[in-house]
Structure 1
Amino acid sequence: MQLAEIQSNKTMSSREIAQLCQKRHDNVCNDIRILNETYEKMGLLKIKDTLYTNEQNGQQYREYLLTKEQSIDLVTGYNRELRIAINRRWQELESSQSLTLPNFTDPAEAAIAWANEYKAKQALAIELKAAEPKINHYDKVVERKNLLNATQVGEKLDGMSAIILNRHLAELGVYNKSVKRGKVFSTWFIQKGYGEMKQSDAGFDQALFTQKGQAWVIEQLTSEGVV
């Protein structure tokens, strides 16, 4: 039986997490600050911050040091209270097993240990299954929170309407001209990370811009004198 070892003395820095998740460090730090607010409400220890020295300019900047549980809480979703509870449950299972190891040389005691572990995992599986719709809902909200529609992008262009903006974008080849119904991004636009195709709750395709895509649109239309 393989048992997880809890090593609370080890930490991972927010900079390393940002690198592993391919996110900007300031965005990760912002997520951590929000997570700390949730920890405070739940009476849990908050993630500690410290200073590090940048090797390139010699200046000091703030970073956070996260334990294993805190790292998992941060990266496994945005329904924080639900995910924190589930992660803490895993911690309880692992720590209780590591503190009270059964005598596996005794067949009867080993069988009881296996049965208890199976029951615990079954209970957690049921808990996760019940939480799945709520998790999926929050994941969908988070997935879209940094995406923008044409109307929102147009607001950054002196209030340009979505209809006029889409005409300019069509001329730039942003949309696939072979698709007559609705707006569908061209493959190159998606591959460059400028936009994503999402499905609305009603089942319709939506062309949504990333923050990077919004910056590209503004730069293109500004350079061409449109705005």
Structure 2
Amino acid sequence: MNTIVAPSNTVTMSSREIADLTGKQHKNVLRDIGVMLDSLEKAGSDLSQVVRYTDERGRTSEVRLDRVLTETLLTGYSIPLRHRVVTRLQDLEKVSRHSMSLPTNFAEALQLAADVAKQNTSLHQVIQRQTPKVQALARLSATDGSICITSAAKQLGIGPLKLFKWLSDNRWIYRRAAFSAWSAYQPRLTAGLLEHKLVKVGKGVEEDLKVVEQVMVTRKGITHLATVMQEAL
């Protein structure tokens, strides 16, 4: 499999960037580079990686060095200046290591397709796991404080009878006696999922109204139910 590395296999740095990083004048950096290259050339070193740019008069206007030559140049600079340039070189190397592989035969193409499919499947599974939470937040935003179980069922998109049954089966609510009003289990009250609230029931004149205690689902309870009941109901 062929590997394409971007932007380049070789990390280089220009004399102008070295000047910016070290705070030296560019002409002085060019002078230092010239002294170094002359010395290395006399020692028989390979300088094929050096790129020189010239102006209209044929004078050197900029030089680009590879990492080895850049660090060789820095040996004559102070520790803080060397640290700045070496840190920048490491950043450039991180960019150069971002690579992608292209298949060169049918077998490698099939393997690449399988790897991409596996990644897509993993992403789809993450989305599925997050969907209940996202929907729960949407339902939460639609509620205003605690609401009755019937209203909670509407927010959850299920029938009220089904929600009452689920809450009863899963020990959220219970009846003290047959046909009595529903009450919340204490752990659900302590967790802030349910609460008891006094409400007025009845129609007509004031004398016909009465106050009863009713189980209410809190905003926290709606969010929790939307998550745990996504597959249960």
| TM-score bucket of the superposed structures, by smaller chain | 0.3 to 0.5
Structure richer in strand, relative to its length = 2
Q: TM-score if structure 1 supplies the norm length?
A: 0.33
Q: Which has the larger radius of gyration?
A: 2
User: Larger RCO: Structure 1 or Structure 2 (Cα < 8 Å, ≥ 6 residues apart)?
Assistant: 2
Task: Report the TM-score when normalising by structure 2.
Answer: 0.32
